[in-house]
Structure 1
Amino acid sequence: MTRPLRSNLQPGSTLWAGRRAQWRALGLNDEELTRPKIAVVNSSSKLSSCFSHLDEVAAEVSKAIREAGGVPFEIRTAASSDFITSAGCGGSYILPTRDLIANDIEVAVDGALLDGMVCLASCDKTTPGQLMAAARMNVPALIVSCGYQQTGEYKGESVDIEEVFLRAGYIASGGITVDELANLADNAVRSPGVCAGMGTANTMHIAAESLGMSLPGSAPVQALSDKMFDNARASGRRIVEMVWQDLKPRDVLTAGAFRNAAIAVLSVSGSINAVKHLQAVAVEAGLDIDLYTVFDECARTTPLLAAVRPNGHGTIAEFEQAGGALTLLKRLEPLLDREVLTVSGRRVGEVLAGVQPGAPGAIATLEQPLSRVPSLNIVRGSLLPGGGIVRIGGTEGRTMRFRGPAQLFHSRDEALAAIKAGQVRRGSVVVLRGLGVRGGPGMAMTSAVVFALDGAGLIDDVAVITEGQLSGLVNKGLVVGEASPEAGDGGPIGLINEGDEIEIDVERRIVDLHVPEETLQQRRAEKREFGVPVPRGWLTIYRDNVGPVHEGAVLRNSTR
């Protein structure tokens, strides 16, 4: 199978001559210079165990590409870890890394006119950034899930990094000592890979397969396992076929594919971060689709089929052993669009036709689900016309309504200090504002506030509304995350005064500010500024160009 390749420039041209000189110096011969040229997109980093194994994966993918008749070119991108990169500027660098990754990839792949790419997906922001780049450039692309980490043991009990993250919030209330927390941290992670729970990383790996952008049966997977390497090699071989077939991301990333991904995320009570990430990918794919509305609609008919930590006591390893995303999709088949295409070259219905799920266990059935309570709930109203997200996790008996006076905070540290000092009032709605994609910028990390409220025994006696980012592990209390539009972008949340009454009703999907309109008009005339100063550089560029989170928080004018 052959077709013209964009990487093969006109012989005799200046660009051709320069390229030939560079690539012959790398050892390529005349025949190799005409083959499909594939980017192996690698976010390897020794800053975090999430990425520390990716060089090994890249080597196997590159070998498979060569054996299939392609020429691999390894390229590097930025990499951020919530546990490492969050130290600087209050965590502001984390979300903007997603868009930096997308642009890193564009510069390398489109700049060199490569023919396709295999993206090594690891921690939270790599998968959506890679999907955004694939959708934007629309060259043949595959996502390879590079696995979750092996968890540890402490005092005879299983411990993972999620537990460390949660328990760190108990320091302020005295629920744990620094030494105890250190011992947990010392034993939590036993291998490279992403967090071993249904946080953002594993959610996005499952979403990538549900979108059809990963080979069927590839997520989730334990890092450095035989299965992970087998999937990586198969992806290396498959991308060469995709280049010859000219199978492109926009052939796969249809409205039906995004609906399938939303259903899959809802069925496992995935991270709320997946909503904005999928919206961003849809925007880059040129689709006019509102993922907030899609999630809202699908939540009414999609039950909970898996209760992986923090949604229950199940583990991601048990979920994988039960068949992972492929078995999950087979269980969900009556709800899915079976006609959408996947990177395997087969349609979803064809892929699922050969799947034989085992007995219900870690993955329940539609007939006997774990819960029918919607796991992710989109709430809108006079306070948040763009929307916010409440993760219930399918848990029966959770608080679904709350009405109380606002207690305002404008930084994570300010809120944490108030919790430690016993100043957070029971019955109040804790509002964290000025921390969104522009004010943060990049959605400052506010999960610690939720964990601290839990540690102080307040989580069931207050509600929380935050513009900031929440870890995919947050699954306690009534917490409205990713509030939009933000105060820093002129949203109504910026008009709240201390003590204003706020109503949240998850079942009715509303979040309203009960203040007379004439009062709000007077406040609009006041000068109110939100957000924090940031150093000149990437964060300034991001703040000045990012769009609202309910529209995917993509950089304005970045899409085609």
Structure 2
Amino acid sequence: MAKELNPYSKAVTQDPTQPAAQAMLHAIGLSDEDLEKPQIGIASTGFEGNPCNMHLNDLAVEVKKSIKSYEWVGLIFNTIGVSDGISMGTNGMRYSLPSRDIIADSMETVVNAQAYDAMIAITGCDKNMPGALLAMGRLNRPSLIIYGGTIAPGCHNGEKLDVVSAFEALGKKQANTISEEDFKGVVANACPGPGACGGMYTANTMASAIEALGLCLPYGASNPAQSAEKRKECAEAGLAIKKLIENDLKPRDIVTKKSFENAIRLITVLGGSTNAVLHLLAVANAFEIDLTLEDFARISAETPYLADLKPSGKYLMEDLHQNGGIPAVMKMMLGEGLLHGDCMTITGKTLAENYKDVQGLGEKQDIIHSVKNPIKSSGHLRILKGNLAPGGAVAKITGKEGEIFEGTARVYDGEFLANDGIARGEIKEGDVVVIRYEGPKGGPGMPEMLKPTAAIMGAGLGKKVALITDGRFSGGTHGFVVGHISPEAFDNGALAYVENGDRIRIDAVENSISVLMEEEEWEKRKEQTPIKPERNVSGSLRKYSKLVSSASFGCITDL
């Protein structure tokens, strides 16, 4: 039990030498009695410009009501967001990954500057969640996350849709395999309302990882955005944060190396986004826990891939919710010995205790395969190394694309040039599309390559070509793709020296990625000075490019 419930806020609410602070708090409606209570910062990432975030301010109000019902003080503040779906394929996407650090910095700033005793973060889109996790690790005050929830599926001509359907429809249109009417129908119906992208893309991947880390309430990852369960979760937040404060249970008391192993195992079973590698590396750094690419390689090698979820499968998170949600998956994994059940969570109970009595997966469901009948006996996240990526690269190989690809390099110095080339029909069967100078420094901002990968899939080339980049991928990307190649081309990494016509081999069995060239010839090639494309950037992107680390360390900016 905590000795005092307001160890931080008392510096401004109880100190008689802080009358101005107290006067300002009275001005917002707090009484003398309120000034003796804990103050909880409610960090909302809500904004109107994105379906993932459009409802979060409403959820923040519900959380505030829940806190008030226990006669404690909840104060809402806001931070920024970037819609990956809206900025994808434009220069705006360069701001997406940097927004993660701005979100973390702003949450840390407000909670510290306002002397809040605890924090509840209301998150929705891809960078909101890791941003909140970074802040929680740095602050180490009682905290929890409320995920805004997954979007309902769209529908056109009887087919379930999501945002990636719209990107792939463009590829079909360019390949003349879809009518203009159906193209517009997909675009108009893909996203029917509030909630994060519906497949096992980055938002749902990170929400699942957060539940495995023990930092949200059970079912928090899979309760849909517009469900009664999500509202109930918000109503329970007040009691949850009250118990955390009373028991002085903080994020670093909960999250350990074993917690991260749980998170990695869960997203491996689910077929989660490669972005989770970047984010979990960065979050571990904020928690001062040693986590490396080798940990992902080790866990992926010994964990089966079981979930038939989009983008590689056919189901959405809402379908999984109807069959027990993430708790049902975790209960199955606990039974199979795939999780550390003794890890603590924000409920004050261990993972095993939280999920002991939850309903398991239904016998008739086919969303989650059994361990005895996996989609793939090992994980889809592959950490590749070789003469093209001595610092490592991340591949998302489900097995449906094959596990080895050897082909001819088709090189583009940037995503926009690649998009134009794909639209012109330059990509042929057997090509390895190389998109470089899109790394964290060179992009700058390490933009996602969903537009080119979706165009390739839409053109029917998904199993016939590979794509490699020092940029990254949306969780919605599928196909034979490799990203996060390190060192990046901008830092004179090997990718800068690849030429059209080079033979490239990607081996997800041996976990290698290499140019097929004699070592002496390759080293001679690398004596050349690569011609870097000009990037006229200023402001926050310029600052980011100077601070950011390699993708192999999670693109952290506070080294």
Shift, 1:275, TM fit: 1.1
Counterpart of 1:379? 384
Match among 483, 499, 502 for residue 497 of structure 1: 499
SS of residue paired to 1:387: strand
SS of residue paired to 1:369: coil
Give the partner amino acid of 1:298: I
Shift, 1:88, TM fit: 5.0
**Structure 2 residue 343 is the aligned partner of structure 1 residue 340:** yes
Worse-matched range after superposition: 526-535 or 348-357: 526-535
Give the partner amino acid of 2:3: R
C-alpha separation in 1, matches of 2:359 and 2:303: 21
Q: Contact 1:372–1:394 at 8 Å: present in 2 too?
A: no
C-alpha separation in 1, matches of 2:423 and 2:221: 40
**Structure 2 residue 394 is the aligned partner of structure 1 residue 389:** yes
**Structure 2 residue 235 is the aligned partner of structure 1 residue 224:** no
C-alpha separation in 2, matches of 1:410 and 1:505: 24
User: What is the 5 A alignment of 1:143-182?
Assistant: 143-182=145-184
Counterpart of 1:475? 478
Deviations 1:6-63 (A, max 9, x none): 1101778587222201101011011111211111110111111111111210111001
Give the partner amino acid of 1:261: A
C-alpha separation in 2, matches of 1:490 and 1:41: 40
Cα RMSD (Å): 2.0
Counterpart of 2:300? 299
Give the partner amino acid of 2:467: V
Q: Contact 2:12–2:21 at 8 Å: present in 1 too?
A: no
Counterpart of 1:406? 409
Deviations 1:66-95 (A, max 9, x none): 122321111101111112234652520111
C-alpha separation in 2, matches of 1:517 and 1:377: 24
Counterpart of 2:358? 355
SS of residue paired to 2:18: helix
Shift, 1:532, TM fit: 4.6
SS of residue paired to 1:483: strand
C-alpha separation in 2, matches of 1:37 and 1:251: 21
C-alpha separation in 2, matches of 1:193 and 1:355: 25
Deviations 1:264-292 (A, max 9, x none): 000010111111111110011111221x2
Q: Contact 1:221–1:320 at 8 Å: present in 2 too?
A: yes
Counterpart of 2:544? 542
Deviations 1:406-443 (A, max 9, x none): 22101222112222323224323211110011111111
C-alpha separation in 2, matches of 1:307 and 1:278: 23
Shift, 1:163, TM fit: 0.9
Q: Contact 1:36–1:69 at 8 Å: present in 2 too?
A: no
Deviations 1:361-390 (A, max 9, x none): 233332343442422222112211222222
Deviations 1:458-498 (A, max 9, x none): 3322221112221111122x211222221112322222233
Match among 260, 263, 285 for residue 261 of structure 1: 263
Worse-matched range after superposition: 265-274 or 13-22: 13-22
Counterpart of 1:236? 238
Counterpart of 1:3? 3
Q: Contact 2:136–2:143 at 8 Å: present in 1 too?
A: yes
* Structure 1 residues 509 and 160: alpha-carbon distance in aligned structure 2, compared to 1, 3 A threshold: same
Shift, 1:201, TM fit: 0.7
Counterpart of 1:463? 466
C-alpha separation in 2, matches of 1:357 and 1:13: 52
Shift, 1:255, TM fit: 0.3
Structure 1 moving runs of 4+ over 6 Å = none
Calculate the TM-score normalised by the size of structure 2. 0.94
Deviations 1:137-174 (A, max 9, x none): 11111011211112222223332222112222333333
User: What is the 5 A alignment of 1:206-225?
Assistant: 206-225=208-227
Match among 52, 55, 67 for residue 53 of structure 1: 55
Q: Contact 1:269–1:394 at 8 Å: present in 2 too?
A: no
Match among 25, 36, 54 for residue 34 of structure 1: 36
* Structure 1 residues 99 and 530: alpha-carbon distance in aligned structure 2, compared to 1, 3 A threshold: farther
Counterpart of 1:420? 423
Match among 185, 188, 191 for residue 190 of structure 2: 188
SS of residue paired to 1:298: helix
Shift, 1:339, TM fit: 1.6
C-alpha separation in 2, matches of 1:336 and 1:351: 13
Give the partner amino acid of 1:45: F
* Structure 1 residues 156 and 429: alpha-carbon distance in aligned structure 2, compared to 1, 3 A threshold: closer
Counterpart of 1:68? 70
Shift, 1:224, TM fit: 2.4
Deviations 1:319-358 (A, max 9, x none): 0111111111111111111221111111112223223414
- Structure 2 unaligned blocks of 5 or more: none
C-alpha separation in 2, matches of 1:491 and 1:46: 40
Counterpart of 2:553? 551
Shift, 1:126, TM fit: 0.6
C-alpha separation in 1, matches of 2:311 and 2:502: 33
- Structure 1 unaligned blocks of 5 or more: none
Q: Contact 2:270–2:309 at 8 Å: present in 1 too?
A: yes
Worse-matched range after superposition: 127-136 or 514-523: 514-523
C-alpha separation in 1, matches of 2:64 and 2:357: 29
C-alpha separation in 2, matches of 1:325 and 1:84: 28
Shift, 1:179, TM fit: 4.4
Counterpart of 2:328? 327
Counterpart of 2:250? 248
* Structure 1 residues 178 and 106: alpha-carbon distance in aligned structure 2, compared to 1, 3 A threshold: farther
